[in-house]
A and B are shown apart, each in its own frame.
Chain A
Amino acid sequence: MKRFDYIRPASIDEALAAWNPGAAWLGGGTNLVDLMKTGAVQPDTVIDVTRLPGLDRIEWGADGSLRIGAMVRNADLADDPEVARRLPMVAEALLAGASGQLRNAATVGGNLMQHTRCNYFETPQAACNRRDPGTGCDARDGENANLAVLGWSEACIATNPSDFCVPLAALDAVVEVQGPEGKREIAIADFHSLPGDTPERRTALEPGELILAVRLPAAAADFAGHARYLKVRERTSYAFALVSAAAALRMEGDRIAEARLALGAVAAKPWRVAEAEALLAGQAPDPHLFARAAGAALTGAAPSGDNSWKIDLARRTAARALAMAATGAPARMPALPASPFGEPAGDHVHA
């Protein structure tokens, strides 16, 4: 890989000061280093932010809100008993991602910022507007069976592969960032960008901005009893989603007071549709209702290539996730988290 300077700042200020236009933040490196090896990403400076003080904490506010430091490892977050209790689908999504070894290394900030798995992006020899603006998009006429069916543009049809971000989107997470201009907050809905004509702008993060934390509002825990993440994949574990869905219901008696639904692996960002959620509010849980809501969530879906099957699958997945949420979050993490084969709950997590 291209030679680069490695810097390990001791403070956030030092980190921000070290940033330059050719620099990249280094979290667990599970995504960045792979891309540096292929040459898809070629930073001059790698700034290791994993030792920055104070960013590795999971903190509950007095009001019940949660603040997750950007350097918290995916595994530590997933294994936190309070997180599993109050935000079960967040833990479930994390455990459905990658493998135990990768989750031990991967950070919250890195997970939010992970790149698409579009192979043409990862391969520097291929034309890719996201990697090299204006060069074209080899995926359009290439291997695109698992690329986007929603929100894509002529310029780019990539998907965001993160599992973790899907429940974050459903639960209105907020991303705390700090950059040369100071601190600010970005709503998760605005964090990942749809490609439009500028697929290279994959998030709302400005150059030099560093993710400090992700916050979840207290209200996210109101869904604890009825929140599920469901991930359809080609093998039982250790595979990226074909399609996934996070579904959460706040029940009042036998009625749905409020619903959240986000889809993963269908677009360049977790996909949330207000109309689909509105359909559910005030209704009694029912398969037909869930099917209608799932249909609404897929409004506007269109194949970007050899992937019309994903539209059908996404609809089915959304409906099922809602049904699973209505049944209730399991008391214990299923042996196969987020899997159609996860029930009944087993005695150890096997993912």
Chain B
Amino acid sequence: MPDTLVQPVRFGSNSGQPVTRRDGIAKVTGAATFAADNQPAGLLHAVYLPATIARGRVTHLDVAAAEAHPGVVQIITPADRPPLDGDPSAKPTPFSFRIDVLQDDTVRYAGQPIALVLGETLEAATEGARLLAPRYAAETARTALDDETPFAFEPAGFGLPAGAEHGDVAGGHAAATQAVDVTYETAAQYHNAMETHAVVAAWEGDHLTLDMPSQALAMSCGAYAYFFGIPAENVTLRSPYLGGGFGSKAFTTGPQVLAILAARMTGRPVKLSLTRQQMFGPVGHRGATRQRLRLGADVAAALTVIDHESIAATSSFDDFVEPAANASQGLYSAQALRAAHRAVRLDVGTPGPMRAPGEASGSAALECAMDELAQEAGIDPLEFRLRNYAETEPGTGKPYSSKALRQCYDQAAERFGWAGRPLAPRQMRDEAGLLVGWGMGTALFPAPMFAAEARATLRPDGSALVETSAADMGQGAWTALAQIAADSLGLPLDRVEFRAGHSDLPDAGVAGGSGHTATAGTALHAAGGDVIRQLGEIAAADEASPLHGAGNAGFVARDGRLCVAGDEERSEAFADILARAGGAALIGNGSGSRAPEDAERWAMNAHGAVFAEVKVDPDLCQMRVTRLVGAFAAGRIINPKLAESQLMGGMIWGTSFALHEEARHDRHTGRIVNADFAGYHIAVNADVQGLEVITVHEDDPHVNALGIKGVGEIGVTGTVGAIANAIWHATGTRVRRFPIRVRDLLEAGSPVG
């Protein structure tokens, strides 16, 4: 498997250029090796049996029948599962979940592994699992938000979000001359990356090698090491390519631990790859929410209060509460703000972060509630948002590190043609008689940074190798990070070899939170800078160099040459400097993180505005999003082509959220009845008609040295509300649940014709 890609790339293409992804050819030709493509000699195939009930106990497994099946090598059940060194109910890292690895016979959600079958072939293992024919003592499952009583909790970092309260909330309610009190529901959604979770695990003594898609390589190594009682450096994790992750591949999962255990038991490499159906259970999802929003405004349509309470589903045995209410903090300039979360324990797999966790569901409800209040106040929804534009962060009063949201509103509204939109619903039709509606929403996503390290090596020939364990989930890290690295070294992109996706490399942190480019990019930038600094010292001290003695002026690196700052005629090629210095390579290191005082001082977010047009058949109530225009301000854009496709992807995701995605449970067994792509809908090509993305440049000196925010998740926010608001505008029917279905409009009594 190639750890690096040496693809021909366009010359001179660094930051700001729309470079085509460097891994594109490898992917479309099949040369890219994904985890499950690995076939080491002696491979065993592991298949786990998923529970088909959500609550109860397994009372019988027909192990004999499964063992008798030709090709079945071994069955592992709770009765004979060898011990693990780490406790599956513990959380070895701050970002972990309790996992199900056959620790006992209880079933806590449908899809939970209840046995593991090893076979010489995938087919044998699959049939072995079927032959286990489990019997259960089942209890009625709790899978709907009303099936249990909501509880409040103490905030505890990851998974148990803190709420917030700023200003006089009761006073805000009292001061309102117009108000809405509305409750929205969002359905459980399952992230289904094209590549399902997989692992090929191989042991050599107490050294473990994992081919596994991972959004967080170093953290994963630590967690797997914990379960198997070995030092983290004994785990090698290779994850050169991921077929998507969306948050679900940042964590240790039960099925993957079981495969590793099986490899240790048998002394043979073991492969386990989830089926599409198995994605609905043990690998996280976005929990269902019910959100009550009470908004008030005064006579001037200035918000007096945003009061947002959310109830979210979590599992019966672990905590991940979708932090939906926090999405209404930090966006509009209300005098008083409140965000409160409660949770409901259901018999579902533990939810987890799924693309824009909290922001997606929270924004959906908030943007609809804003629309409802604008309607109440008789004001254009965009005008209403502009009247409540926050110049400093609401509640805290912190300045924004940068905020070009006004430009986003202006440019997107202009491109969309928002002016002249009738205020009242059901006013517009197209030539075919379809109802037409326009809606909008504001997008917001924080611009966090985590911690990353990187190494840059300037080779004697003047080319460079840069290394960091970054994860390319398909978003384009292979390309955008290489562009940053090339710039930091003053080299054209094709002179830079970029290595990532391997745990032996310097830790690039987690690809999540839309902070990967900012974090790993900053580390790469620093590593390249370190090399150039060292090179400058050598040149300045070298009497034979034209740069001799120019150290005080400082140097810049450009196109493979070191130049005197301010006098770029005076320069020398990297290779020449190195040759005279003995011909050895130069190695530089860098790290990326944000100083805590910067994080304290500034409110840092990416912002955007999304405008949607929908058409609705007046009789049949079928809906279609016919146009989406989004303008986003996310700091400096490293690669416009990749960034725009991330933003488009987010907006398409928002379309799925608004109209399609919903896991439906059988109310007795708790089983998800639409756990495949025929039943679990996401938008298809025909659902995406006009889609336009505008990026608004921001110079942000505070977020990080490169001025980078993130683009991975923000596109989901704003979009969901914009679409729902457009549906209201088209039909006059306000549907307060997601996804919005044909029957919702029909049952609301949409009049014929």
Q: How large is the interface on B (under 10, 10 to 19, 20 to 34, 35 or more residues)?
A: 35 or more
CB of B553, distance to nearest CB on chain A (Å):
61
* Residue interface bits A108-145, CB-to-B below 8 A is 1, else 0: 00000000010110010110000000000010011101
Do A237 and B432 form a contact, CB below 8 Å, given A138-B666, A316-B619?
A: no
Select which of A117, A340, A350 is within 8 A of B617 by beta carbon: A340
The chain A residue with its CB closest to the CB of B136 is A125
Tell me, in angstroms, the Cα distance from A309 to B746 when the chains sit together.
7
The chain A residue with its CB closest to the CB of B70 is A3
Residues A236 and B684 in contact, CB atoms below 8 Å apart? yes
Choose, from A44-52, A72-80, A227-235, A249-257, the stretch at the interface: A227-235
For residue A351, CB closer than 8 A to chain B, the reply is: yes
* Residue interface bits B604-632, CB-to-A below 8 A is 1, else 0: 00000000000101011110100000000
Choose, from B555-563, B643-651, B670-678, the stretch at the interface: B670-678
* A340: chain B residues within 8 A (beta carbon): 434, 617, 620, 622
The chain B residue with its CB closest to the CB of A39 is B130
Residues B679 and A119 in contact, CB atoms below 8 Å apart? yes
Residues B660 and A234 in contact, CB atoms below 8 Å apart? yes
* A236: chain B residues within 8 A (beta carbon): 624, 684, 686-687
CB of B500, distance to nearest CB on chain A (Å):
33
* B660: chain A residues within 8 A (beta carbon): 234-235
Considering residues B664, B667, B673, B747, which has the most beta carbons from chain A within 10 angstroms of its beta carbon?
B673
Select which of B431, B434, B668, B746 is within 8 A of A341 by beta carbon: B434
* A3: chain B residues within 8 A (beta carbon): 127
Residues A313 and B668 in contact, CB atoms below 8 Å apart? no
CB of B250, distance to nearest CB on chain A (Å):
29
Select which of B432, B669, B678 is within 8 A of A240 by beta carbon: B678
For residue A1, CB closer than 8 A to chain B, the reply is: yes
For residue B681, CB closer than 8 A to chain A, the reply is: yes
Residues B746 and A312 in contact, CB atoms below 8 Å apart? yes
The chain B residue with its CB closest to the CB of A287 is B753
For residues 682 through 707 of chain B, which have their beta carbon under 8 Å from a beta carbon of chain A?
Answer: 683-687
For residue A60, CB closer than 8 A to chain B, the reply is: no
Residues B620 and A316 in contact, CB atoms below 8 Å apart? yes
Residues B743 and A145 in contact, CB atoms below 8 Å apart? yes
* Residue interface bits A329-351, CB-to-B below 8 A is 1, else 0: 00000001001110110000011
* A141: chain B residues within 8 A (beta carbon): 667-668
Residues B666 and A232 in contact, CB atoms below 8 Å apart? no
* Residue interface bits B729-753, CB-to-A below 8 A is 1, else 0: 0000000000001110011000010
Residues B622 and A350 in contact, CB atoms below 8 Å apart? no
For residue B126, CB closer than 8 A to chain A, the reply is: yes
Residues A350 and B620 in contact, CB atoms below 8 Å apart? no
The chain A residue with its CB closest to the CB of B275 is A37
The chain B residue with its CB closest to the CB of A230 is B620
For residue A10, CB closer than 8 A to chain B, the reply is: no
For residue B303, CB closer than 8 A to chain A, the reply is: no
Residues A235 and B667 in contact, CB atoms below 8 Å apart? no
* B619: chain A residues within 8 A (beta carbon): 316, 319-320
* A313: chain B residues within 8 A (beta carbon): 620-621, 742-743, 746
Select which of A126, A142, A233, A351 is within 8 A of B622 by beta carbon: A233
For residue A242, CB closer than 8 A to chain B, the reply is: yes
For residue B52, CB closer than 8 A to chain A, the reply is: yes
For residue B486, CB closer than 8 A to chain A, the reply is: no
* B685: chain A residues within 8 A (beta carbon): 237, 350
* A239: chain B residues within 8 A (beta carbon): 681
Residues B743 and A309 in contact, CB atoms below 8 Å apart? yes
Do A351 and B686 form a contact, CB below 8 Å, given A123-B52, A341-B622, A343-B432?
A: yes
For residue B659, CB closer than 8 A to chain A, the reply is: yes
* B681: chain A residues within 8 A (beta carbon): 234-235, 239
Residues A350 and B686 in contact, CB atoms below 8 Å apart? yes
Select which of A119, A143, A237, A240 is within 8 A of B686 by beta carbon: A237
Tell me, in angstroms, the Cα distance from A312 to B622 when the chains sit together.
14
Chain B at the A interface: SS class:
loop
Q: How large is the interface on A (under 10, 10 to 19, 20 to 34, 35 or more residues)?
A: 35 or more
The chain A residue with its CB closest to the CB of B664 is A143
Residues B126 and A1 in contact, CB atoms below 8 Å apart? yes
Tell me, in angstroms, the Cα distance from A125 to B51 when the chains sit together.
10
CB of B455, distance to nearest CB on chain A (Å):
45
Do A237 and B684 form a contact, CB below 8 Å, given A312-B746, A320-B620, A341-B615?
A: yes
CB of A110, distance to nearest CB on chain B (Å):
16
Tell me, in angstroms, the Cα distance from A64 to B673 when the chains sit together.
45
CB of B428, distance to nearest CB on chain A (Å):
16
* Residue interface bits B153-177, CB-to-A below 8 A is 1, else 0: 0000000000000000000000000
Tell me, in angstroms, the Cα distance from A235 to B679 when the chains sit together.
11
CB of B332, distance to nearest CB on chain A (Å):
32
Tell me, in angstroms, the Cα distance from A242 to B130 when the chains sit together.
32
Residues A117 and B127 in contact, CB atoms below 8 Å apart? no
* A143: chain B residues within 8 A (beta carbon): 664-667, 673-674
Considering residues A123, A236, A316, which has the most beta carbons from chain B within 10 angstroms of its beta carbon?
A236
Residues B746 and A119 in contact, CB atoms below 8 Å apart? no
Tell me, in angstroms, the Cα distance from A39 to B277 when the chains sit together.
14
For residues 265 through 319 of chain A, which have their beta carbon under 8 Å from a beta carbon of chain B?
Answer: 309, 312-313, 316-317, 319
* B667: chain A residues within 8 A (beta carbon): 141-143
Tell me, in angstroms, the Cα distance from A320 to B619 when the chains sit together.
8
CB of B450, distance to nearest CB on chain A (Å):
36
Select which of B620, B659, B684 is within 8 A of A317 by beta carbon: B620
Tell me, in angstroms, the Cα distance from A309 to B664 when the chains sit together.
18
Tell me, in angstroms, the Cα distance from A85 to B529 when the chains sit together.
69
* B434: chain A residues within 8 A (beta carbon): 340-341
Residues B686 and A125 in contact, CB atoms below 8 Å apart? no
CB of A271, distance to nearest CB on chain B (Å):
18
Considering residues B622, B666, B742, which has the most beta carbons from chain A within 10 angstroms of its beta carbon?
B622
Tell me, in angstroms, the Cα distance from A339 to B432 when the chains sit together.
13
* B665: chain A residues within 8 A (beta carbon): 143
Tell me, in angstroms, the Cα distance from A340 to B52 when the chains sit together.
38
Tell me, in angstroms, the Cα distance from A117 to B684 when the chains sit together.
20
Tell me, in angstroms, the Cα distance from A235 to B746 when the chains sit together.
16
* B671: chain A residues within 8 A (beta carbon): 123, 125
* A317: chain B residues within 8 A (beta carbon): 620
Residues A2 and B127 in contact, CB atoms below 8 Å apart? yes
Residues B752 and A336 in contact, CB atoms below 8 Å apart? no
Do A316 and B752 form a contact, CB below 8 Å, given A235-B687, A236-B687?
A: yes
CB of B565, distance to nearest CB on chain A (Å):
56
Residues B668 and A142 in contact, CB atoms below 8 Å apart? yes
* A39: chain B residues within 8 A (beta carbon): 130
* A123: chain B residues within 8 A (beta carbon): 52, 671, 673
The chain B residue with its CB closest to the CB of A309 is B743
Tell me, in angstroms, the Cα distance from A36 to B180 when the chains sit together.
52
| Shortest 10 CB-CB contacts between residues of A and residues of B | A237-B686, A236-B686, A119-B673, A340-B617, A125-B52, A309-B743, A143-B673, A316-B619, A238-B684, A236-B687
25 CB contacts below 8 A, A to B, read A1-B123, A1-B126, A1-B127, A39-B130, A117-B678, A120-B673, A123-B673, A125-B52, A141-B667, A142-B667, A142-B668, A142-B673, A143-B674, A234-B659, A235-B681, A236-B684, A236-B686, A237-B687, A238-B686, A312-B746, A313-B742, A316-B620, A317-B620, A341-B434, A341-B624
Binding site for A on B (CB under 8 A): 52, 123, 126-127, 130, 431-432, 434, 615, 617, 619-622, 624, 659-660, 664-669, 671, 673-674, 678-679, 681, 683-687, 741-743, 746-747, 752
Other 6 A-B pairs with CB < 8 A, given A235-B660, A341-B622, A344-B431: A143-B674, A235-B684, A235-B687, A319-B619, A341-B434, A350-B685
